[in-house]
Amino acid sequence: MDTITHALSGALLARGMATGARAPGRPTTAQLVIAGTVAATFPDSDIVTSLFSSVAYLTAHRGVTHSLVLLPVWAGLLALIMGVLTRKPLQGYLLVSAAGVLIHILGDLITSFGTMVLAPFSDRRFALGTTFIIDLILTGIILLALLASLLWRQSRAPALAGLALLVGYVGFQAWMQGQAEGLGREYAQAQGMVDAQVVALPRPPLPTNWTVVVSSGEQYRVAHVNLWRRSVPTAHANASLIPRLHAAFLPVSALQWESAARFGSDAARHDIARAAWNAPDFGFYRWFAQLPALHRIDIGNPSLCVWFEDLRFLTPGRDDMPFRYGLCRQDEGPWQRFRLTSEGPRPLN
């Protein structure tokens, strides 16, 4: 989830927790809201890893600062800082700080990127995958609830109602996810794919848009569906991003399945792709990518580059795709790591 939405969610949760009491020496409602906002923003401080390398970002982002194990540590630290700054007892900030960090972790857990909630004891990434990383409806619910809280300053009811609506909205998304996964299972059964695994990935701009991936071994079938659409959409050639994204998702009746594979469709090049994939220097991406597929192989003279992508981030209607990485080498020299951007390959340190 984007950092702005995280911050807003922390503010809303803190407002819902603030009773409005003015006990001597206790934080005010405004101070608690600030504390909740800061706490809900804090876990994304690990973005500093991107200053070192994109590999460090992939391996460290949503790690220790997003850990349920370390949540008491972060809550205590943040409460101490707020207590010192406001000259109030840290106990007054402890609960709201813990809640702010927790709502951030939960906000990331519902996306598809994966969150290491057991760090530093495990680097396993957990993901519910109900919500796209930028969800304008979810952010809008939070903003409306915060605005209502400003209008009715003496009541927690608007904040609590907004939090309840958020839970209901994510629950609706989970139900939509189940519907999309059902389509994938039906397709796998019709194709005789007895060992198939199905993943439904949320897509913008509406909770009815899903990318369904059916995987069997190293092969994938991918479809982009709008679960409530009844007719095939169209988008003008010069349409803006949101209409272009929305038009890429077809109704169930017109669903189209595309093919992808971990090592591509050209059997003659499988050995090249497999050699790059299994190279020791590519271990970071083997750990990160959950639905890895070959993007392309560039064969030059004397260079060779093999590029992979993660189908979790495949969004039709976008001009580019994040997290494309690969290995290149000259003649029979050693593999070197690169990131593929819209401007071309970028070496990794």
Helix (H) or strand (E) holding 211: strand 209-216
Q: How far is it, in rounded angstroms, from Cα 242 to Cα 304?
A: 36
What's the token pair of residue 153?
Answer: 């300053």
What's the token pair of residue 14?
Answer: 């803190």
pLDDT digits (tens, 9 = 90+) for 179-205: 999 999 999 999 998 889 999 999 999
Q: How far is it, in rounded angstroms, from Cα 138 to Cα 103?
A: 14
**Averaged pLDDT of the chain:** 92
Residue 301 CB coordination number (10 Å): 6
Q: How far is it, in rounded angstroms, from Cα 80 to Cα 57?
A: 28
pLDDT digits (tens, 9 = 90+) for 133-143: 999 999 999 99
Q: 53: pLDDT confidence band, cut at 50, 70 and 90?
A: confident
Predicted local confidence at residue 114, as pLDDT: 93
pLDDT(97) > 70: yes
Instruction: Single out the residue of 212, 209, 207 nearest to residue 169, CA to CA.
Output: 207
Residues in the chain: 349
- Lookup result for tokens 């950092």: 3
**Residues 6+ positions from 201 with CB-CB distance below 8 Å:** 112, 129, 210, 211, 212, 213, 312
Predicted local confidence at residue 22, as pLDDT: 64
Helix 136-151 vs helix 157-190: crossing angle, to nearest 10: 170
Map out the domains of the chain as residue ranges. Answer: 3-128, 180-261, 267-347
Q: How far is it, in rounded angstroms, from Cα 196 to Cα 186?
A: 11
Residue 216 CB coordination number (10 Å): 15
| Coil, helix or strand at residue 188 | helix
**Residues 6+ positions from 91 with CB-CB distance below 8 Å:** 79
Instruction: Single out the residue of 167, 154, 11, 157 nearest to residue 96, CA to CA.
Output: 11
Helix (H) or strand (E) holding 296: strand 292-299
In this prediction, residues 318-323 reach a mean pLDDT of: 83
pLDDT(240) > 90: no
pLDDT(319) > 80: no
Yes or no: say if 61 and 77 are a contact pair by the CB < 8 Å rule: no
Q: How far is it, in rounded angstroms, from Cα 326 to Cα 340?
A: 7
User: Which amino acid makes up residue 91?
Assistant: Q
Yes or no: say if 275 and 237 are a contact pair by the CB < 8 Å rule: no
In this prediction, residues 320-335 reach a mean pLDDT of: 90
Yes or no: say if 185 and 219 are a contact pair by the CB < 8 Å rule: no
Check: pTM over 0.85? Answer yes or no. Answer: yes
User: Which amino acid makes up residue 126?
Assistant: F
Q: 20: pLDDT confidence band, cut at 50, 70 and 90?
A: low
Going 295 to 237 to 202 to 68, the CA torsion angle's sign is: positive
In this prediction, residues 308-332 reach a mean pLDDT of: 89
What's the token pair of residue 236?
Answer: 């003008």
pLDDT digits (tens, 9 = 90+) for 54-68: 888 889 999 999 999
Q: How far is it, in rounded angstroms, from Cα 227 to Cα 212?
A: 11
Yes or no: say if 150 and 221 are a contact pair by the CB < 8 Å rule: no
User: Which amino acid makes up residue 221?
Assistant: R
